[in-house]
């Protein structure tokens, strides 16, 4: 299993790599197209701003590759936002894998949403072996509203997408690398071979 973590200006790249090593996966951190094209799994980490991240991906000519790649892809936090069509953060046009707009929490909510929160309505093999209402760790000010591609939900104070999936792409709003045993299960599920690799 060749797992590649996309190397760009994201703040949680090393913590994702450490989390994978704890479950027996030795990832490679790279932005080289030749490395990404030979991968079995690709993880797009994310702590930072949408505008800066998209500028980096554009300058390094990675946008088309990331949109068209056929292997299972996991976007984490900002990585989820980059897979969407647009983010209200800095009015950023993103990759457009998901036709969704990323929006900011209302002023009535304490921002950022930080800490442990319950995730419910989990669907799909990524969440296999997890109890209903498992807790995960969040740090974010922007989110994807619930839609037809939502495969897990969280409330803060109203519902938002904790996970979004379409074809071979899945985006998580929470940080599995900081979510203890539940996060380890999610990463294990992503890295194992499913019967149909193109539909995680």
Is there a contact between 50 and 78 (Cβ–Cβ < 8 Å)?
yes
Which CATH architecture fits 3-191?
3-Layer(aba) Sandwich (3.40)
Given a cut of 50, whether residue 137 has pLDDT beyond it is yes
Given a cut of 80, whether residue 199 has pLDDT beyond it is no
Which pairs with CB-CB distance under 8 Å and at least 24 residues apart come from 30-36?
30/4, 30/5, 30/6, 31/6, 31/7, 31/60, 31/62, 33/62, 33/65, 35/4, 36/4, 36/6, 36/65, 36/69
The tens digit of pLDDT for each residue in 72-123 reads 999 999 999 999 999 999 999 999 999 999 999 998 789 999 999 999 999 9
**Angle, nearest 10°, between helix axes 180-191 and 13-22?**
80
Catalytic (active-site) positions: 77, 175, 177
Whole-model pTM: value is: 0.94
Given a cut of 60, whether residue 194 has pLDDT beyond it is no
The tens digit of pLDDT for each residue in 23-75 reads 999 999 999 999 999 999 999 998 889 999 999 999 999 999 999 999 999 99
Is there a contact between 187 and 19 (Cβ–Cβ < 8 Å)?
yes
Q: Tell me, what's the pLDDT at 5?
A: 98
Given a cut of 70, whether residue 200 has pLDDT beyond it is no
User: Domain map of the chain by residue range?
Assistant: 3-191
Q: Locate 183 and state its tokens.
A: 């996060």
């Amino acid at each position: 299993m060749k797992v590649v973590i996309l190397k760009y200006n994201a703040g949680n790249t090393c913590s994702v790599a450490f989390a994978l090593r704890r479950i027996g996966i030795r990832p490679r951190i790279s932005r080289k197209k030749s490395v990404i094209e030979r991968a079995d799994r690709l993880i797009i980490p994310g702590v930072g701003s949408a505008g800066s991240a998209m500028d980096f991906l554009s300058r390094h000519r990675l946008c088309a590759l990331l949109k068209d790649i056929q292997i299972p892809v996991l976007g984490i936090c900002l990585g989820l936002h980059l897979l969407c069509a647009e983010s209200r953060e800095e009015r950023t046009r993103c990759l457009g894998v998901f036709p969704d707009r990323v929006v900011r929490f209302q002023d009535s909510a304490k921002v950022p949403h930080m800490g442990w929160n319950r995730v419910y309505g989990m669907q799909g093999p990524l969440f296999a072996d997890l109890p209903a209402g498992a807790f995960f760790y969040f740090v974010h000010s922007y989110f994807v509203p619930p839609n037809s591609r939502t495969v897990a939900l969280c409330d803060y104070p109203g519902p938002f997408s904790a996970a979004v999936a379409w074809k071979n792409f899945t985006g998580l709003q929470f940080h599995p690398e900081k979510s203890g045993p539940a996060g380890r299960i999610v990463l294990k599920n992503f890295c194992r071979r499913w019967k149909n690799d193109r539909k995680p």
